[in-house]
Each structure stands twice: as structure tokens, then as C-alpha cells.
Homo-oligomer: A and B are copies of this chain.
Amino acid sequence: MISERLKPLMANNSAVRMMFEEGNRLRAEYGKDKVFDFSLGNPDAPVPEEISKAIKDIVDETPVMELHGYMSNAGYEDVRATIAEHLNKLHGTSFGKNNILMTVGAASALNIALKTVVNPGEEVVIFAPYFLEYNWYVNNADGVVVPCQTDENFLPDMKRLEECITEKTRAVLINTPHNPTGVVYSEEVIKGIAEVLEKKQKEYDRAIFLISDEPYRELAYDGIKVPYITKYYDNTFVVYSYSKSLSLPGDRIGYLVVPPDMEDSEFVFETVTAVNRISGAVNAPSIQQKLVARCIDSKVNLEYYDRNRKTLYNGLKECGFECVMPQGAFYLFLKSPVEDAGEFCNAAKKYNILMVNGASFKAPGYVRLAYCVSHETIENSLPAFKKLAEEYNLNTL
């Protein structure tokens, strides 16, 4: 009944559902507080307190036909202007309202950017490991994914990047802070990528776009700087979401930046606006647009995730596991003590620990732990991790 090309999607869907059901089975058998589910990347830091009042104020203060009626497919002009100014203040950019397309979250913005620039059969380079859902977004644009292996610290290797770029390359997709590894690309890394792309643009005499997926931008720890990409490379699309920065994933609100320095910026902006329409989104949901503009300075409590990060990292290191302290997002990437990370995930289930095999991110030999869970869950999980470590004879000093 379904399109042939969706069959791999549904096969993978079954696998995800099986894991979800396994979690439910364990919770039913052992009790919710005895199961340590690190498999889901769902933001759970409390929604900022001012959000509820802001929605009610918006309803009270906005003419009803303005709040619910048709608008430009790009979104409300005042909302776009507010976001542009906010970014200018933070990053020293020079955006105006016609550089900001309001979207149904980051996933929609990514689909729009890809559809706008990728011709069927053209290539999109993505640094591996990566969030495999990107494959489907590229597929929606009839593009072809070219994975580019990162180095041992999960950072881009410029030589490999050069090798991955061909005359068919239309875009390079980056994600920083990064899912699943938690790394943040430094200014040096960004400059390195920009340099390669500038060179390749000249070589092939054609635009190569850098698409920066930044839903975790605000989740960066220890004061680490997350460089703003448009300052380093003109043909950059920035994809943003409020799902994590305000804990609003159900609301589906984000935006796409088409910077003024992009070649033919005005026409590209008109095109992403039209693509927003034909993609079926039409426009970002109206109430949520007004909401993020009104709460432009709001943020979730970073401390919520940071505390989890430190407790989990220190606990795992004490057990003898090998991992790198994540710099951003809410994921910790752990090296499996055995080659087969699937076997390791299965062993963990005996202790009611649920993790995702790194193979789901093109990183065999690793597992991903999403630490967007209660701090209690983290603390209670540590004795279980200790037993798991003992099973592998770690930390046997």
C-alpha cells in the first residue's frame, strides 16, 4: 500500500518502536523509578515560567483576526524583525526581517533549505556520526547523502572534507552543538570548513551552501562559545528551533536564516518563503510566532542539564567507562567496552539501562546516552552502571 521508497523508513520505525515498547515493559515490571531510560532526546528542562502568562497576554492583546488569520508565508513581520534584532545584538550580524523565515520547527526549516537549493541527484555532505533523520530530509529533496567521517574527537577533518566535495556537492550540513556526540565546533573548526568551501566554490564556479542545524545553540556549557556561522561563510543557512531553548518541542516553532550576504539573498528568501508554502507548512503557527517574539530573552535553566551532565560523566568515568565530557546539547557519547555496541546495549538492559546503539548515528562501537532526564534518574542509575562496568571488568584496580 505504501510507496516503495518508504519501506526502509518503516523498517527502522519498527526498531525504534520495539525499543520504546521494551522500555514500557521494563517500567511495568520493575517500576518507573527502577528503569534508567537514556534513549530519548526529549527536552525535559522546565518550560520558563513566563511562557504561560505570555500566551494569555497575547490572546488578550492581539486583535483576534490578526492572531489567527492569514499572514505572509514568511511569518509576521514584527516577529521576524524582533528575532533579527535579537541576533544582531547577540552576534553582531546585520539581519533584517527579510532574512528570517518563521518555520514549523527546525526539521521543517531544514527540509525547506534542502528543497530550495538541491537539484535531484546532487550531493549533501554530512559529518558522521550524525542524526540519521537527516537522510530522510535529503531524500525528500531527491538529494544524495555523502557521509564524511570525523576524527577521533568527532571533529571535522578538513582533508577528508575536501575529498568528499565533488562537482555534484550542493551543500554541507553541520550540527553544533552536536547530536549525538555533544561536541561544539570551535571558531577554528568553522574557519577551516569555510576555507574549504570557499576554495571548492571557486574550483567548481558554483555556490556550495553550508547548512547549520542549531537546535542546541543555547545548550553550551562552561561558557564555551558557539560561533555564529554566517560571519564566517556567506552562503550559509542557519536553522534554529525553540524546542530545546524554551522546551517547546510540541509547539513546532523555529526559523531559517537567509543572511544578507548570501549570493542573491533576496531571491533565495522569496524562494524559501514559497517553499514553506508548497511544503504544506504554509506558515509557522501564529500564536507560537507571537510567543517566541514576546519571550525573546527567555531561556530554559541550563543548570538543569549541566548538573546531569557532570553527575553522569563523573559517575561513568568512576566506573571505568571511556567517554569525553560533552560541551553542549544533552547527549553523552560513550565508547562501548566491546566492539559490538549492540551487545553492550543488550547487556545494559539487564540492569534496566536503556541506551541507543551508535550504529543509529553511523558510529559503530559507541552508544548514546540522552541525559535530558531527572537528576534522580541519573543518580539512581550509577549503581546499575557500576554493575555493568564490573561485567566488563572495567575499573578493576
Contacts and interface: CB of A to CB of B under 8 A. Distances in A.
A298 to B, nearest CB: 13
Interface string A58-72: 011000110111110
Interface residues of A, number: 76
Looking at A112, A279, A288, the one whose CB has the most chain B CB atoms below 10 A away is A279
Given A51-B64, A280-B108, A251 B2 contact: no
B278 A279 contact: no
Given A250-B283, A287-B55, A271 B64 contact: no
Given A2-B267, A59-B55, A140 B70 contact: no
A110 interface: yes
Looking at A112, A142, A262, the one whose CB has the most chain B CB atoms below 10 A away is A142
Nearest to A12: B274
A176 interface: no
A195 to B, nearest CB: 21
A392 to B, nearest CB: 33
B279 A280 contact: yes
Given A69-B249, A71-B250, A270-B13, A282 B47 contact: no
Tell me how many chains of this kind the complex includes: 2
Given A52-B59, A251-B286, A267-B1, A9 B274 contact: yes
B68 A117 contact: no
Interface string A99-129: 0000011011111100111111000000000
A236 interface: no
A42 interface: yes
Given A137-B280, A140-B279, A271-B2, A64 B47 contact: yes
**Interface of chain A: mostly helix, strand, loop or mixed:** helix
Contacts of A268: 1-2
Nearest to A71: B250
Contacts of A65: 44, 46-47, 247
A153 interface: no
Interface of A: 1-6, 9-10, 13, 42-44, 46-47, 51-52, 55-56, 59-60, 64-65, 67-71, 104-105, 107-112, 115-120, 133, 136-137, 140-142, 207, 247-253, 262-264, 267-268, 270-271, 274-275, 277-288
- The 8 A-B pairs at the shortest CB distance, nearest first, are namely A250-B286, A108-B280, A111-B280, A136-B278, A285-B285, A107-B280, A42-B70, A1-B264
